[in-house]
Amino acid sequence: MVLLHTLLAKVGPKDKKIGVKARINGVLNISLNLVKHNLQNHRLVLPCLQVLRVYSTNSVNAVSLGKNGVVELMFKIIGPFSKRNTSLMKVALDTLAALLKSKTNARRAVDRGYVQALITIYVDWHRHDSRHRYMLIRKGVLQCIKSVTNIKLGRKAFIDANGMKILYNTSQECLAVRTLDPLVNTSSLIMRKCFPKNRLPLPTIKSAFHFQLPVIPASGPVAQLYNLPPDVDDVVDESDDNDDAETESEIETEIDDDKDQHFKNDDIETDINKLKPRQELGRSIEELKMYEQFFPELSENFQEWDLVSKEPKPFVPDANLSGPIVVPTASEEHSAEAKPSTKGIALKECSPLLTEEYNRRPVFLELPKKDNMKSSSLHQQNDQRNMLPSCQCLSQEIVKGLDRISLQNSAKNDQYYGTGCVVEKESKAGITTLASSKPFEHVSPCGGSLFEGSSVQLGKLCCTGVDSEEEEDSRSSSSGEHATLQISDVSPVHDCDLYLEMVKNTKSIPEYSEVAYPDYFGHIPPPFKEPILERRYGVQRTKICQDIERLIYQNDIIDRVVYDLDNSSFSVPEEADVLKFNSKFESGNLRKVIQIRKNEYDLILNSDINSNHYHQWFYFEVSGMKTGIGYRFNIINCEKSNSQFNYGMQPLMYSVQEALRCRPCWTRVGTDICYYKNHFSRSSIAAGGQKGKSYYTITFTVTFQHKEDVCYFAYHYPYTYSTLKMHLRKLESMHNPQQIYFRHDVLCKTLAGNSCPLVTITAMPESNYYEHIYQFRNRPYIFLSARVHPGETNASWVMKGTLEYLMSNSPNAQSLRESYIFKIIPMLNPDGVINGNHRCSLSGEDLNRQWQNPNPDLHPTIYHAKGLLQYLAAIKRLPLVYCDYHGHSRKKNVFMYGCSIKETMWHTSVNAASCDLMEDPAYRALPKILSHTAPAFCMGSCSFVVEKSKESTARVVVWREIGVQRSYTMESTLCGCDQGKYKGLQIGTRELEEMGAKFCVGLLRLKRMSSPLEYNLPSNLLDIENELIESSCKVTSPTTYVLDEDEPRFLEEVDYSAESNDEDVELADNAGDYEATNQDDGLSDRDSTRIHLS
């Protein structure tokens, strides 16, 4: 029998069906009985236990053996501490751990008090194994505890036995020895899993702000939200577990062993009839005529304009390199926005095409005689320009004056802080200065007070202005890399005063009247590189231990609310050692802050309005800090299962003190950054009906450089709706009307009454002769949109780069304008952006899932954006390219999603080669061009697969219903790049704007490749370009199917879910804290490695 069981122990692990075979042949109990009757015969018991360990990996076998007393038998073997027969004990512990994965056996162990016994055994081995020779036995005991605590009764027994404190103390003693990391990791997992689920400290998970919808959807999450009884607690369920209510299934589950062999992604569309594009206008021609007024370029004859056929003189601004940069201010401009009409859309009465309205050329502003600004082209040679010394900054008097800037309708200040320096100029209202000898007495502790009417108040500036003790250091380092900025970096489209004017007309649900200083001062990309942060070993484990200490040492926890939107009577703490928080400004979304320890704060984000989830974007203000202290911030109600914060991304910080030193820029900051599942429970109402879900924590530590500074933190570079309005106004006032045809219309009004801008850009015709007018009217359209998701601010920065390139004076930009007519909607979701939403509009819905059937009352921007495209389809002027700019939170680089029938079929059981499919591969041309011209773009991350879950997105609907073959979503990373020129660097606004410009360059190359005769290019260049496209367009091999998350597991990926029964992963000594993360939304990493094509 010894030889037989020894043979079975070696063969068994290689046969997945051996457990089934043993049960069918009735031999399970033979090995069990041999152990029962020969406990003292270790030579026989050892191979028998090895066979039982193999049998127990099958859940049905584990239940059957448990009924026959195998659990009790294992505890007899592992019994009191003894260093004799350690090999036998190791096998017994492994067998017991496998058996306890069965909920029935786990409950049996809890009922017999074995949880306390396991803890005692572990403590004994921990105390006696001083030389760490028996780590595998200690690990085996922990694995048994881990298995039994997968059920709620096991977790309760573990806590009652003081297991939290015991494991915490033992793991802290193991930290000094690196080889004991597997013990520390498993202990951390057990403690975190047994940490009692807490209620999120909120009265409701619904947004703190309410907006009454004009129409309530009949179904969906918004309808459920409105139909929820008022007395229902939507923060947490009555029970955080549902596993104990389930009975052990006796159904044989061996078929699950083979399920991984035939992995299939059910989200890929397999119906070829649904994949084939079918042009469906969905609206009558008569109804679509309402959009004629947005296309006056199709009927404009320019007869009233004095156009000459010769090439116009280049529009070069007079650059004064020695002085500050001056830009036109609001007093010199006026808006060219169209006046909106009723029903939420800015439309006029339908009129014939040849009416005066359509014959009239759009009104342009006269050019200023002198304009000291840089060209908006991204490729100007300004490297040799003089540097601005940082010491030429605001005096303390001016700082105090800035503290009380408020914008009244009658007062206009014409000062521009493009570089943080003061520029005073004479305006119609006379000369206005900010200097004052009296401090402003009415500034609230964490922001300016609200003003009556349409006035706007800036947030609180630093009380001390510029630190006097640091002035000398700042002056001495003014020539250093970090202390100076080139004039060429200053954006010509930022105007502080104009921004305040724009804010006055921005309508928010909370009726904000404060302005965040980063939005007021503007942002200049820092002159230094910001590498992807290298993760410090053990950082997540340390954070977990600190969280566990909250339960073990509760008396050390302050637990004090220091900011609360839900409490209207809440007052900001006045203590000097407590940070002050604020987010009552455009795009801010902080809801509540709780001080946990002296320098540690838990932050809770506000839900999207008319929603009870979507927490990821953050933007808030902090003040009252001290230098030399590490402050830890924990954002505790995030929802995504993973984040680039685990792969080197850092949050962004903007220091007002630095801005006053001529360094107004967002910079990547923070140490000890990680993103992990926490102990705050998500209710089934917020989790789409799923129980047992938890929130996730973003944690980071910041040490401030300046005392009493005012700093702002953000998920990504903020770009507000008011910023967009300011940029469009500046572009309109700065362009050369002899070269550029520019229109700024209002497509429609949003639910809150904000305007959705529509921009048209092309080149003016060479003359008003028929041939030139004909060429002007018949240029192909390019349709671009962005910012449908408010939290994806990088999309707006890419769009800014596109707009500025299109409005620049470079020959390539002029050639591009002469080739295309650009229709651009730079912000599809203004309301979401204004109110700090992460994903939704005020309707509480993801607007990028409404393109199939948009509701004009709930989704006006989508309804009318689709209407514009439907109108172009009706008049046979389909856009050559449609692209929607987005941001991606869990992937690096910039990439595109497109649409292809053939490439989608590659991922199904249908062989694309055998299908009678004829598909023009030109959809791959633009992404391939960008992969060769844009440093941040990665062709390998692109996908052209059409998924069922994306059938209502802009990309798929424009491709399928409108008929645009080149319909794309362009995704830009929030983190950085892992290839190309920017490999290893976090992405910044300079790189994002460059991507927007490179997109335009790609369109120009696309034009040259499609019409080579129009351009006098070297033949070899055309051959290279054509070969580049043709070689990539042959679909002869599977394409890469891009998952929502394609990062490899990071070293400290930890799963704290109570339901985890995954097989244990043996860790190398240097592998870090490695456990499998539960994939809440998307495929697991293990599944992702199995994606293949048949």
Give, as one character, the DSSP assignment of residue 650.
-
Provide the residue type at 576 as one letter. A
Q: Find tokens 């791959």 and name the residue.
A: 924
963 contacts: CB under 8 Å, gap ≥ 6: 277, 279, 873, 878
Q: Find tokens 């008011």 and name the residue.
A: 722
Provide the residue type at 955 as one letter. R
Question: Which among 612, 614, 615 has a CA at the least distance from the CA of 603?
Answer: 615
Question: Which among 887, 848, 898, 941 has a CA at the least distance from the CA of 644?
Answer: 887
**462 near 445, Cβ under 8 Å?**
no
- The CA distances from residue 962 to 103, 286, 869, 896, 946, in Å, are 54, 17, 7, 19, 16
**139 near 151, Cβ under 8 Å?**
no
Main-chain dihedrals φ then ψ at residue 373, nearest 5 degrees: -140, 160
Relative orientation angle of helices 114-128 and 152-160, to the nearest 10 degrees: 50
Q: Find tokens 């006045």 and name the residue.
A: 574
To the query of whether residue 971 is one of the catalytic residues in this protein, the response is yes
**1031 near 216, Cβ under 8 Å?**
no
**1058 near 152, Cβ under 8 Å?**
yes
Question: Which among 849, 841, 787 has a CA at the least distance from the CA of 992?
Answer: 787
3-state secondary structure of 371: coil
How far is the C-alpha of 1089 from the C-alpha of 777, rounded, in Å?
A: 51
How far is the C-alpha of 906 from the C-alpha of 222, rounded, in Å?
A: 37
**665 near 711, Cβ under 8 Å?**
no
Question: Which among 919, 853, 948 has a CA at the least distance from the CA of 277?
Answer: 919
Question: Which among 438, 425, 754, 713 has a CA at the least distance from the CA of 593?
Answer: 713
3-state secondary structure of 90: helix
**What is the sign of the dihedral through the CA atoms of 885, 891, 896 and 901?**
negative
| Helices of type H across 360-426 | 396-402
3-state secondary structure of 825: strand
How far is the C-alpha of 331 from the C-alpha of 914, rounded, in Å?
A: 67
Expressed in percent and rounded to 5, the helix, strand and coil fractions of the chain are: 35, 15, 50
Q: What is the distance in angstroms between the CA of the first residue and the CA of the last residue of the chain? A: 46
Provide the residue type at 450 as one letter. L
How far is the C-alpha of 1037 from the C-alpha of 986, rounded, in Å?
A: 33
How far is the C-alpha of 393 from the C-alpha of 660, rounded, in Å?
A: 6
**636 near 230, Cβ under 8 Å?**
no
Question: Which among 850, 852, 803, 794 has a CA at the least distance from the CA of 824?
Answer: 803
Q: 500-505 contacts: CB < 8 A, separation 24 or more? A: 500/405, 500/407, 500/456, 501/330, 501/407, 501/412, 502/722, 502/723, 502/725, 502/726, 502/729, 503/407, 503/456, 503/586, 503/722, 504/407, 504/454, 504/455, 504/456, 505/454, 505/725
Given 971, 993, 994, 1045, the catalytic residue: 971
Q: Which residues are catalytic?
A: 971
